[in-house]
Structure 1
C-alpha cells in the first residue's frame, strides 16, 4: 500500500484548505477552498491547480465555508468529473454560497476592470462565474453522518459532526490495498472543530485510534475566558449598549453562515429582555438571508433550546436584499445595527457601510470572528488610523471593538482535548489551518504530553509526504513551490504599499505649513530617483 498526501492549502495560513491524497487506485481531495487575505496569497486562486483536475476522482468536503469549498466551481470547470461528497446541510448551504461567491467574483472584477481601463492596465477575468458555480452543484452527492461510503477502490470514508457549522464534518478515512487484506491505514481530517458549548451546534464527535490525524490549529496558541450563554449575551449587551450611547451605526462584519444567525438569536433575546435598546437590525446580505432559511429547514438538527424559526419573524429584523435597499440604510441617523458580509471586511456590502461610517466617531465596528493577515478587518483590529477601501483613503474615527464569543473554532485547550481523545495516534499529527504562531503554539501544547514531538508535523505549502512508512517521509524536497514559505506568513508588498501611501499622506497633512510639505515631497522624489 502506498499513500501520499500533498498540502495544497491551509499550510501556515488559515485559508485555502485542500489536501491531495494519492493511492495506487486513484486520487482524491479533502476540501478545495479559496485563499483569502493578502493579495499574494489570493493570487493563487487565479493560477493553475498544483494537480490536474481531470485526474482527481473524488472530493471529500468537510463543510461549506468558502475557505474550504470556494474553488470547487473552478475545479469542475477545469475538468473534474467525479463526485463531491458532503453532508446534506453542507450541500444546502453551498447551493447558495458558491453562486454568491461567483457573483461577487464577477462584480468585483467588473469594478476592477473599470479602474484598470482608466489606468491603461489589462483586464482580468474572474476566478469563476456564477454560472460556473451553479454548474458545479450537479457534482455534489449527499452522505449521512457516521455511515461508511466508498470513495475510490480501497478507500472509504465516514463523516462525524465537527460542531463547527451546520453540516460540518471531521472525515475518517480508511485506505487498504484494495484486496481486503491487512490492517487499513486510518486517517482523520478534522475540518474545523467547533468550541465547547457552541450556540446552535452540538459538541464535536469523532472516534479514536488513528495512524494519522490532520488537525486545524486556528486558535492553537490562545485561550478564551470561560463562557456560558448568559456570559456571552452579557458581553454582547455591553458592546451594543456602548454603541447605542455613541448614537451612530453599529456595524457587525459577520460571516453570512452561522455567525450571523447566532448573533441574531442573541440580539433578539437581549431586546426582548430589555437589556439593550430596541433598534432596527438590518441583515444586509442576500446570502445571509438565504442561509437563515437553510437553518430553519434544518432546525431539527440544531440546538433544541434555540427557537430558530424566530430568525425570520422578529419585528425589528429587517432584510435588505437589493442594492437599492442597502443604499437606503446610509440615510439613517441615530442608533441602528447593520450585520453584513464579509466577516473579514474583504468583500461584500460591509465595505460600503464602512466607507460611510468609519470616519465618524459616532460609529462602532464590532469584529466577531477571525481576521486573516492582510484583510481590512485585520488592519482595523490592529488599530489602523486610516485604511483604503476601493481606492479611497478613509480615516478611522469609529470605535473598533472585538469579541470572540461567537468564534466557530475551538481554542488551544479545546483542540488539545480533541486531539487527546483521538489517541492512540500511531504515526503522525499534522497541524494545518493556522498562522505560524498558532501552529507552533499548539505543537508545544501537544508534544510529549499527547504525542511524541518527533511525530508532530507542521507542513509548508505544497509539501508532500509518503504516509505508508512507520513515520511520514517528506518527498520531493526540491519541488518548486507556488509560493516561498516566507511569502505565505508575512504581509506582501501590496499591503506595504498601501500602508506607505497612507503614512505619506498622513505625514504631509500633519506638516506645519506648505514649506514643510514641499520639503517632504522633495525628499521623497530624491529617494525615488536614487
Structure 2
C-alpha cells in the first residue's frame, strides 16, 4: 500500500492524492492550484503520475481546488470512473464547465491582445469538461459502503463543508494486512443551518487531513451575522454600495439565507437592491433545491413545504453580462454579491474597479483568501491595487468577517481528529506550512507528517 501527494502539499489548494493498493491506482480529488497568476504553470505541469494508469477517481466535493483539474486529467488520458455524492456530481459539472469557459476566454483574450508570455491555448476546453462529466458513475450515498475493487471498500461520510461534501474512508486489504485510510476533504465547522454537521468514522489507521484554519478559531457565527448586518447598515447610512466577493457554492446561498432573515427581523432596512451577480452562484442556488438529502433540516423542510429559502424582497439574479455592467451605474443602496471569492477573476473585479475608490462604500470579505490573490492583497491593507491595467486607490471601507467560513477552525479540527480514535499516521495537507506545523504540534498519538509535493509513503 502506498500513498503519494500531488497537490495541497504544504499549500492550501490543488488537492490530489494517490493511493496504490491491491493492484489498483485510486486518485482522491484532482483540484486546481489557486492564487497568484504564476500558478498557471503549476496547473499545466505534469501530475506526477500517468493519468491513463489511474483506475478510479474519488471526489470529496465540488470546489475548484478539488475538482478543477479533472478535465485536464481526462484530456491527458484518464478514462476511469469518477465517484461522488449526487450533489457533488451536479455542482462539479457546473464548476468544471465554468472553469473551461474561463480558460477558453482567457486564451482568446491573450491571442487577441498578443500578450507576451500569455497562454494562447486553454488549459482545457469545454469538450474536455464534457468528457469529464461523462465519466461520473452512479452517485454514492453517505455511510453506505461500496466495493470499489476486490480488497478495497469505500464509504463516504458527511463533511459538512458544502452541499454534498464528503470525507472518504478507504478500507484496504492486502493479504493479511488491513488499513482504514480516511481522506478528510474539507471539514465544515458544524452548526450551519444549510448543511448537516460533519460525521466522520471512528477507529481510523491513517488520516489525510486539511488544516486551512489550523492556527485559529473563527468568530462565532451569530456574532459574524450581526457584524454583517451592521456593515450593511453603516454603508447604507453613508449612501454607498456593498460589494461582497462571493464563493458561488455554499457561501452565496448562506448569505442569501441570512439576508432574508435580516430583512424579516428588521436588522436590515427594506428597500435595498440586492443582486446575485454570478451565473454560477445562480445555478448552484437552484441545484440546492434538488438535493434535500444533503441539506440541513430547516431549509429542507421549507423546500418540502413549497417555500424558497433563498427568496427575498428586492433580490435580482444578474445572469447576463450586460446586466452586470449596468450595475456600475448604481451609486448607492445596492448590495452586490459577485464571484470570485478571492477576486482572482469573474465579475467582482469589475465591481471593485468601480467601487474601491469610494469611501462611502464597503467591501465585505466573508471567506478565505490565499496568498497572492487580490482579495488577500486588499485584506492585508494595500492602499492601491491594479485592476484591468489601472491603478485603483483603496478608499472604501474594508470588512473581513471570517465567521462565515465553510472550514472548521482550530478547535473544531482538533475535535474532529480526536473523534477518529488514535490514527497511527496523520498527514496534514491543505494549509500554509507554518499553520500545519503549529497544528501538528497540538495533535496527540501517532505520527504526524507534513508531506511535500510528490512525496510517497508506505502505509
Find the residue that maps to 2:367 and give its secondary structure. Answer: coil
Question: Is 1:298 aligned to 2:294, yes or no?
Answer: no
Residues 223, 413 of structure 1: 8 Å contact kept:
yes
Find the residue that maps to 1:140 and give its secondary structure. Answer: coil
Q: Distance in 1 between matches of 2:363 and 2:169?
A: 40
Question: Is 1:435 aligned to 2:424, yes or no?
Answer: no
Q: Distance in 1 between matches of 2:71 and 2:319?
A: 24
Which of 148, 152, 157 is the aligned partner of 1:151? 148
For residues 431-469 of structure 1, give each alpha carbon's deviation from its aligned partner in whole angstroms, at most 9, with x where no partner exists. Answer: 1000112211211221xxx224xx0101111111121xx
When residues 365 and 458 of structure 1 are mapped into structure 2, their CA distance, relative to the original with a 3 A threshold, is same
Instruction: Using the TM superposition, give the Cα deviation of residue 139 of structure 1 relative to its aligned residue in structure 2, in angstroms.
Output: 0.4
Find the residue that maps to 1:39 and give its secondary structure. Answer: coil
Question: Is 1:22 aligned to 2:20, yes or no?
Answer: yes
Corresponding position of 1:317: 315
Q: Which moved more, 1:157-166 or 1:38-47?
A: 38-47
Q: Distance in 1 between matches of 2:40 and 2:416?
A: 31
Question: Is 1:191 aligned to 2:172, yes or no?
Answer: no
Find the residue that maps to 2:335 and give its secondary structure. Answer: strand
Corresponding position of 1:135: 131
Q: Distance in 2 between matches of 1:120 and 1:366?
A: 34
Corresponding position of 1:261: 253
Corresponding position of 2:92: 94
Corresponding position of 1:201: 195
Find the residue that maps to 1:51 and give its secondary structure. Answer: coil
Question: Is 1:403 aligned to 2:397, yes or no?
Answer: no
Instruction: Using the TM superposition, give the Cα deviation of residue 120 of structure 1 relative to its aligned residue in structure 2, in angstroms.
Output: 5.6
For residues 173-194 of structure 1, give each alpha carbon's deviation from its aligned partner in whole angstroms, at most 9, with x where no partner exists. Answer: 01112xxx52411100000000
Q: Distance in 2 between matches of 1:184 and 1:273?
A: 54
**Structure whose alpha-carbon radius of gyration is higher:** 1
Instruction: Using the TM superposition, give the Cα deviation of residue 398 of structure 1 relative to its aligned residue in structure 2, in angstroms.
Output: 1.2
Q: Which moved more, 1:24-33 or 1:219-228?
A: 219-228
Find the residue that maps to 2:326 and give its secondary structure. Answer: helix
Q: Distance in 2 between matches of 1:200 and 1:192?
A: 16
When residues 53 and 245 of structure 1 are mapped into structure 2, their CA distance, relative to the original with a 3 A threshold, is same
Which of 181, 196, 216 is the aligned partner of 1:222? 216
Q: Distance in 2 between matches of 1:410 and 1:254?
A: 18
Paired residues for 1:344-493 under 5 Å = 344-425=342-423, 427-446=424-443, 450-452=444-446, 455-467=447-459
Instruction: Using the TM superposition, give the Cα deviation of residue 124 of structure 1 relative to its aligned residue in structure 2, in angstroms.
Output: 2.1
Paired residues for 1:51-200 under 5 Å = 51-115=49-113, 117=114, 124-141=120-137, 142-177=139-174, 181-200=175-194
When residues 312 and 201 of structure 1 are mapped into structure 2, their CA distance, relative to the original with a 3 A threshold, is closer
Q: Distance in 2 between matches of 1:227 and 1:88?
A: 28
Instruction: Using the TM superposition, give the Cα deviation of residue 280 of structure 1 relative to its aligned residue in structure 2, in angstroms.
Output: 1.1
Q: Distance in 2 between matches of 1:87 and 1:102?
A: 22
When residues 285 and 226 of structure 1 are mapped into structure 2, their CA distance, relative to the original with a 3 A threshold, is closer
Instruction: Using the TM superposition, give the Cα deviation of residue 392 of structure 1 relative to its aligned residue in structure 2, in angstroms.
Output: 2.3
Q: Which moved more, 1:252-261 or 1:355-364?
A: 355-364
Structure 2 segments unaligned to the other structure (5+ residues) = none
Q: Distance in 2 between matches of 1:123 and 1:213?
A: 38
Find the residue that maps to 1:400 and give its secondary structure. Answer: strand
When residues 123 and 212 of structure 1 are mapped into structure 2, their CA distance, relative to the original with a 3 A threshold, is closer
Q: Which structure shows the higher helix fraction?
A: 1
Structure 2 length normalisation: TM-score? 0.95
Structure 1 length normalisation: TM-score? 0.83
When residues 21 and 419 of structure 1 are mapped into structure 2, their CA distance, relative to the original with a 3 A threshold, is same
Residues 253, 310 of structure 2: 8 Å contact kept:
no
Paired residues for 1:228-239 under 5 Å = 228=222, 231-239=223-231
Find the residue that maps to 1:43 and give its secondary structure. Answer: helix
Structure 1 segments unaligned to the other structure (5+ residues) = 468-530
For residues 350-373 of structure 1, give each alpha carbon's deviation from its aligned partner in whole angstroms, at most 9, with x where no partner exists. Answer: 111111111111221100000000
Q: Distance in 1 between matches of 2:293 and 2:164?
A: 12
Q: Distance in 1 between matches of 2:126 and 2:456?
A: 33
Instruction: Using the TM superposition, give the Cα deviation of residue 121 of structure 1 relative to its aligned residue in structure 2, in angstroms.
Output: 5.4
When residues 147 and 123 of structure 1 are mapped into structure 2, their CA distance, relative to the original with a 3 A threshold, is closer
Corresponding position of 1:274: 266
Q: Distance in 2 between matches of 1:369 and 1:37?
A: 14
Question: Is 1:247 aligned to 2:239, yes or no?
Answer: yes
